[in-house]
Amino acid sequence: MKLTPDELSQRLAEVPGWQLADGKWLVRRFAFHSFTAAIQFTNRVAEVAERRNHHPFIAIDYKVVTLRLTTWHAGGLTAEDFAEAAEIDRLFREAEGARMTETTPEPGAG
């Protein structure tokens, strides 16, 4: 069911990386350190999308992945869009965490 404007404001505050576009899209850009990392993230997003049967529009512009969520049958944003956005944010934090582990030296090393 499409969220009311009040519900929408509340939910938007819970996913600070995402922005509302045209009143019916939830949009976020994710920047990576390489094209390969962007593709790996896209694959993880695709797994989530298939499991939830809710498919964002995905744009890959070299190292930047832009996702756009909406719920077609509701004609706008629903709780499902925000639940998926929150799950994708967790994937992104994990991907970033992995990168930091790769590039940060051990304490005391060097």
Residues of the shown chain interacting with its own copies in the complex, contacts defined by CB under 8 A: 35-36, 39, 42-43, 46, 49-50, 55, 57-62
Least distance to its own copies, CB of residue 53, Å: 9
DSSP 98: H
Least distance to its own copies, CB of residue 69, Å: 12
- Return the number of the residue (9 or 39) whose C-beta is nearest its own copies: 39
- Return the number of the residue (31 or 39) whose C-beta is nearest its own copies: 39
- Return the number of the residue (29 or 57) whose C-beta is nearest its own copies: 57
What are the residues whose beta carbons fall under 8 Å from the beta carbon of 83, sequence distance 6 or more?
Answer: 52
Least distance to its own copies, CB of residue 32, Å: 12
DSSP 32-97: -SSHHHHHHHHHHHHHHHHHHT---EEEEETTEEEEEE-BGGGTB--HHHHHHHHHHHHHHHHHHH
Least distance to its own copies, CB of residue 55, Å: 5
Any idea which residue has 């009040």 for tokens?
6
